[in-house]
Amino acid sequence: MVSFRLFGVVLLAGCALQAQNPAPAAVLNPASNIPVGHFNWGIAQGSIFVVYPAFDQAGKVVGGSLGPASLVTAPALPLTNTLSGTSIKVTVAGTTVDCPMLYTLRSQVAAVLPSTTPLGSGTLTVTYNGASGSTPIKVVATNVGLSTVLGTSAAVVTFPNYSFVDSTHSAKPGDAVVLWGTGLGGANSDANIATNGDLKTDITVWIGGIAAPLQYRGRSAGPGLDQINVVVPDGVAPGCAVSLVVQTGGAQSTLLSNTTTVPVMPNGGTCADPVLSGIPAATISSLLAKPGTTLASFQISQSVALTSPTFDATIDAIFLSFTQQQLTSQLPKLLGNSDPSLGSCQVTFNVGSGSTNGGGDGKPDATGLSAGASILFTPPTGLALTAAGSPQLKGFYEVKPTASLPGGTWKVANGTGGADVTPFSVDLPLAQPVLWSNQAASIDRTQPFILKWTGGDPTGYVRIAVSTGFGGPTGAPGSVSVVCSAPAAAGQFTLPTSVLGSLPPSGTFPGTMDVRGIGTTIAAIPGIDLAFASYTNTKQYAPNLK
């Protein structure tokens, strides 16, 4: 039986069978899921593709079903061109080909695009039980997609013995690893296992921004299923979310796979990103051993938002919370960080106005602790700030300054204390704001760009975020967001073409860039298991992406 587990395809719920023609709406590489309308959208010859219908706001299929109510997968090799009443044809430049079927379901169908399909724009037609519907398709020679673990950006990567590379079994420099996906290009069989071995596709695999030595790139043990064997290069900055991306063509090519992540550590084993969280892994481990934990969290933020090309709006805020956490198992998520590891970047595609994020985990299992009526923040210069307690939420305090917060050592105290937290006075160092020092009016997406800055917490990091939009007659409006992390002390970071190339050029949709300094300080407060202050400052820019 053919396995699709590696591709992490989400089987969407369909609706009741309707007596209508199928209405296919999107043809995607199931590994990359690069959306229709983005300039890198396209299905490679010989690759696996998935066809989705349109869905209404209730999540029901628009039009007739693409396949049966229950999932039917190809029972054996070779694949056939019809499966449980479903078939797919692709027509390009007057040539029509039949696609070997992988699976069929009312809300999605999957097949392999024949390697003989002509290149260019054409039409894909889905037929189910005699009823047909069509949608556009773009056929390209190569368009690599890397498979990811369901619901995450973590790539499906294995060691040569097929054991998984994961957060407790990191790869280390010098390790041979296998990447899985589809889209390397045509082979000598699409319905059965190909036998032409290494396809010699012109690709570069970037791990943490460093080119990885290639050992093999070609078909694996299944139609359309590709594997890329590489060696983890020396010099990769360690972390749990080291960037992994495939670039096809050359150093200036913008034909890029989806950007994924892989854990890399100097000696393998369990991964860690202590600079991102600002809290040592040993501290979290000791807290996990307790039945409950008391936390004091100080969130200090400064933001300069770009409201027009010539006007900035400064928005500063200080939030505090004192809580008793009943379930320490929540701590890794509560204290974690979703940014990529230092020296790495992450690319995210968003389509339409809806969010792909879920509704969260509900209310945290925590109880507020009273630390007094208010908390006093005394800056190194200027007037003190008073954070008043929330009348609705016990243990929560807030103040919104009317002027920028000066860098230097601040003193934080709660006077005579509260019912749950005794009097304390701690020093919190605030770093100077991070500012883009070599600010450029435009950025060439086909060349590496060295971004330099001043300021920042020398023990913290700088988060660089770039976003711009795309859309048009071939797809719904969408946007591409890039986030990179770098040590603040480095003073600079090179945005590689393997990242910039995924961003659409500025035009109808102007781009924005946020440069943010982030730092965390651990403090000692009597009776509190962990007291920490997280400081962020953000300034927004609007470079032209060309």
Q: Which amino acid is at 292?
A: G
CA-based max dimension of the chain: 83
Residues 37 and 115 in one domain: yes
Q: Which residues contact 373 (CB under 8 A, 6 or more apart)?
A: 388, 389, 415, 418
Per-residue pLDDT of the chain (546 residues; tens, 9 = 90+): 333 333 334 333 333 333 589 999 999 999 999 999 898 999 999 999 999 998 877 778 888 899 999 999 999 999 999 999 999 999 999 999 999 999 999 999 999 999 999 999 999 999 999 999 999 999 999 999 999 998 789 999 999 999 999 989 999 999 999 999 999 999 999 999 999 999 999 999 999 999 999 999 999 989 999 999 999 999 999 999 999 999 999 888 889 999 999 999 999 998 989 889 888 878 888 888 888 899 999 999 988 876 555 445 566 889 999 999 876 666 766 677 789 999 999 999 887 543 333 333 333 467 999 999 999 999 999 899 999 999 889 999 999 888 888 889 999 999 999 999 999 999 999 999 999 999 998 999 999 999 999 999 999 999 999 998 886 544 557 889 999 999 999 999 999 999 999 998 887 677 889 999 999 999 999 999 999 999 999 998 989 898
Q: Does 153 lie in the same domain as 288?
A: no
Residue with tokens 């078939």: 87
**Residue 233 resides in a domain:** yes
Is residue 306 situated within a structural domain?
Answer: yes
Please state the three-class secondary structure of 29-64 as a single string: CCCCCCCCCCCCCCEECCCEEEEEECECCCCCECCE
| 143, 40 Cβ separation under 8 angstroms | yes
Is the domain of 531 the same as that of 383? yes
Q: Provide the domain count of the chain.
A: 4
Residue 276 CB-half CA count within 13 A: 23
- CA dist 163 and 187 (Å) reads 27
The verdict on 291 and 411 lying in the same domain is: yes
Q: Verify that 283 and 262 share a domain, yes or no.
A: no
Q: Are 481 and 455 in contact (CB under 8 A)?
A: no
3-class SS at 405? coil
> Which of 155, 516, 90 has its CA nearest to residue 302?
516
Return the structure tokens found at 421: 């937290």
Q: Is 172 a domain residue?
A: yes
- Nearest Cα neighbor of 502 from 122, 32, 140 is 32
Please give the structure tokens belonging to residue 257.
Answer: 């796979």
Give CA–CA dist 346/350, Å, rounded. Answer: 13
Query: Cβ neighbours of residue 10 under 8 Å, at least 6 residues apart?
Result: 150
Same domain, 28 and 119: yes
Token pair for 113 = 């695009």
CA 235 to chain centre: 23
83 and 201 belong to one structural domain: no
In a domain, residue 17? The reply is yes
481 Rama sector, left if φ>0, alpha if ψ -120 to 50, beta otherwise: beta
Q: Contact at 8 Å (CB) between 208 and 264?
A: yes
H-only helix segments in 216-365: 274-277, 281-288, 331-334
Is the separation of the CB atoms in 179 and 205 below 8 Å? yes
Peptide bond into 78 cis (omega under 30): yes
* Contacts of 427 by beta carbon, 8 Å cutoff, 6+ apart: 409, 410, 411, 412, 523
Residue 545 belongs to a domain? no
| Same domain membership, residue 503 and residue 444 | yes
What is the C-alpha radius of gyration for the chain, rounded to an integer number of angstroms?
Answer: 26
User: Final residue of a domain: which of 140, 166, 188?
Assistant: 140
Which residues partner with 316 through β-bridges?
Answer: 302
Q: Does residue 119 belong to any structural domain of this protein?
A: yes
Question: Domain ends where: 252, 272, 292?
Answer: 272
Q: Which residues lie across from 134 on neighbouring strands?
A: 125
Give the domain extent around 256. Answer: 145-272
Q: Are 21 and 63 in contact (CB under 8 A)?
A: yes
- Contact predicate 142/184, CB 8 Å: yes
Alpha helices in 435-530 (DSSP H): 497-500
95 lies in the same domain as 9? yes
* Assigned token pair, 61: 């299929």
CATH number, domain with residue 261? 2.60.40
The answer to whether 530 and 283 have CB atoms below 8 angstroms apart is yes
- Residue 381 and residue 526 in one domain: yes
Distance, in Å, from the CA atom of 286 to the CA atom of 273, rounded to the nearest integer, reads 17
Is residue 66 in some structural domain?
A: yes
427 lies in the same domain as 444: no
Predicted TM-score (pTM) of the model is: 0.84
- 124 occurs within a structural domain: yes
Helices (H), 219-322: 274-277, 281-288
* DSSP-derived secondary structure letter, 329: G
Q: Which two tokens stand for residue 144?
A: 């690599």
d(CA 486, CA 463): 7
**Residues 259 and 331 placed together within one structural domain of the fold:** no
Helices H / strands E in the chain, number of each: 4, 39
First to last CA, the chain: 47
* CA–CA distance, 62 with 76 (Å, rounded to integer): 31
CATH number where 16 lies: 2.60.40.10
- Looking at 272, 297, 324, the residue that finishes a domain is 272
Distance (Å) of CA 541 to CA 68, 397, 466, 515, 525: 50, 31, 9, 8, 38
